[in-house]
């Protein structure tokens, strides 16, 4: 089973991902979706669950543009240690992206 994790601050992106996950339900793809809202209290409450989902993901799509910086700092260690392919949008691109052989930290 392929495990896909989406972490986003974008309501439209999350809605589209939920719809896509419904269509892929019978295709051996497991989706985990984290919606990061604007307040640090509600976002940080799920940081532990997010770390677990990052550890188990095969593909991570991360969009934290506009998220609280403390949340990004909490997510960074889990992302850096994950072997998953990663598509990162926003300020964390230099430390977190990895697609195939492309790893910005190795350059």
Residue 58 and residue 40: Cα distance in Å, rounded? 27
* Model pTM score: 0.76
With bands split at pLDDT 50, 70 and 90, how would you rate the model's confidence at 5? very high
Tell me if 107 is assigned to some domain. Answer: no
| Structural domains of the chain, count | 1
Residue with structure tokens 């051996």? 28
pLDDT digits (tens, 9 = 90+) for 24-45: 888 888 999 988 875 555 555 5
Task: Tell me which residue range forms the domain holding 59.
Answer: 2-99
> Is 21 buried (19+), middle (13-18) or exposed (0-12) by CB count in 10 A?
middle
44 domain-assigned: yes
In a domain, 78, yes or no: yes
Question: What does the buried/exposed string (b/e) look like for 24-39 if buried means 16 or more CB atoms within 10 Å of the residue's CB?
Answer: eeeeebebbbbbbeee
CATH at residue 61: 3.40.50
Diameter of the chain by CA atoms? 39
């Amino acid at each position: 089973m392929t495990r896909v994790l989406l972490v986003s601050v974008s309501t439209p992106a999350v809605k589209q991902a939920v719809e896509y996950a419904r269509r892929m339900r019978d295709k051996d793809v497991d989706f985990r979706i984290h919606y990061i809202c604007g307040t640090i209290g509600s976002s940080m409450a799920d940081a532990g669950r997010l770390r677990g989902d990052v550890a188990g993901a095969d593909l991570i799509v991360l969009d934290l543009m506009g998220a609280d910086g403390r949340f990004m700092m909490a997510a960074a260690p889990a992302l850096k240690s994950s072997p998953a392919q990663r598509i990162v949008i926003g300020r964390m691109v230099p430390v977190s992206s990895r697609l195939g052989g492309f790893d910005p930290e190795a350059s």
